[in-house]
Amino acid sequence: MSKGVLLFAFNSPKYNYYDMAVATAKRINHFLGLPVTLVTDEHSQPNNPTYQFDKIVIAKADKSNRRDWGIWINKGRYRAYELSPYDETILLDTDYMVNSDRLLKLFDMPTDFCCHDTTSFLMHPTAAQEMLSVYSFKTLWATVVMFKKTNRAKQIFECLEMVQNNFDHYANIHGFISSTFRNDYALTLATRIANGHTAPIEDVIPWNLVHVGKNTSVYKNTDTEFNTEYTVLFDNWTKGKIRKEYTTIKDTDFHVMNKDIFMELIA
Amino acid sequence: MDTKTLLTEAKARFNHNSAKAQLKDKYDSKFIVADQNGLWRANLETINFLNSSKDKEVILIDNFNNPVKVDRKLLLTKLHDTYTIAMEEWYNEWTELETNR
């Protein structure tokens, strides 16, 4: 059984996702010992690449999605099933900071598909879990997805394509804003549809996805390439004043929502 | 600017509760064990049950709420080892954290 990690990286005018993917791939090789396949487009690839991916798949970038900071090329994730060369794949966001071998446990799980349904924010332990809307489901997260080449996993990704193509319709039904396509929302709906409108417990990774959220900065404690110790600084707003608080973490994987912070960490 | 200078200049306070919550989050996943077609949590309840039984095989409800027939001794060894290692690491990090108070 071949195992590996799949990353999608399409450069936007603001962020170099290819560089993020290279940094993440190096950490995957180091901490997980797994090969990494990159899905990207010709425009994102540098002329003289310094890192050799296990495989590079060229795909067309869908530039129809926007966020507050500009074009966000996140569509087409449903192709992960078809494009992964591995029997067992971890599909990872490029801004996921691997600091341990924890993700290897996913391959041992007695399931063919799983992702996170619960998050925890560094320095913000009481943050509420995200819902599609107040009338809808708890959000699943597309940041880390493990899948095996089975019919059920294939159906989930086929549903993901259908939800992406009809995102406005599902937004209307579930009461969320459709102006920005989100893989998390599409995945939440796709897994439910593929599972007969149920939410099997087997589809859930049994630990929390750690986020670096708003008002939070992360700094490396050492300048080594595979640093695993960080200082997390948080602006705690209380009674109209900011109180700076910090903690330190080590050997903990985390997802950096702010791309500028991620770029600084990999610099 | 190194992180120590940064923290001093920002007059930042160490948040012990966040550190404690983060440690718990981190170690929660280390107690998860996939074995004999089931997903288990190495906790005292399961370890004690496996330890107290005399049967070669037992049926347990795993984390996915499935009844799974397991070789008792094999699972006991795996859960016990996982528990001991994870608790040791957690304790060491906790002790280090306490010195930051």
Residue B49 has, within 13 A of its CA and on its CB side, a CA count of 13
Helix axes A17-32, A259-266, angle to 10 degrees: 60
Structure letter (DSSP) for residue A204: B
Is residue B1 scored above 70 in pLDDT? no
Tell me the pLDDT tens digit for each residue of A80-93. Answer: 999 999 999 999 99
- What does the pLDDT average to over A253-264? 92
Which DSSP string do the residues of B10-46 spell out, in sequence order? HTPEE-HHHHHHHHHHHHHGGGEEEETTEEEE--HHH
pLDDT of residue B50: 98
- What does the pLDDT average to over A117-143? 91
Of B13, B38, A157, A189, give the one whose Cα is nearest residue A181. Answer: A189
How many Å lie between the alpha carbon of B88 and the closest alpha carbon of chain A?
15
Tell me the pLDDT tens digit for each residue of A221-248. Answer: 999 999 999 999 988 888 888 888 999 9
How many Å lie between the alpha carbon of B3 and the closest alpha carbon of chain A?
7
Question: In chain A, pLDDT over 70 holds for what percent of residues?
Answer: 100
- Asked if B14 lies within 8 A of A251 by C-beta distance, the reply is no
Q: For residue B40, count other CB atoms closer than 10 A to its CB.
A: 23
Is residue A4 scored above 90 in pLDDT? yes
User: Whole-model pTM?
Assistant: 0.94
- Asked if A206 lies within 8 A of B26 by C-beta distance, the reply is no
DSSP lists the bridge partners of residue B13 as: A245
Is residue A113 scored above 80 in pLDDT? yes
Is residue B101 scored above 70 in pLDDT? no
All residues of chain B having their beta carbon less than 8 Å from the beta carbon of residue A208 are 25, 28-29
The alpha-carbon radius of gyration of chain B (Å, integer) is 19
All residues of chain A having their beta carbon less than 8 Å from the beta carbon of residue B22 are 120, 122, 125, 210, 247, 249, 252
Tell me the pLDDT tens digit for each residue of A17-36. Answer: 999 999 999 999 999 999 99
How many Å lie between the alpha carbon of B26 and the closest alpha carbon of chain A?
7
State the ipTM, two decimals: 0.89
- What does the pLDDT average to over B16-20? 88
> How far is residue B71's CA from residue B73's CA, in Å, rounded to a whole number?
6
All residues of chain B having their beta carbon less than 8 Å from the beta carbon of residue A231 are 3, 6-7
- Asked if B18 lies within 8 A of A243 by C-beta distance, the reply is no
Of A260, A175, A168, give the one whose Cα is nearest residue A212. Answer: A260
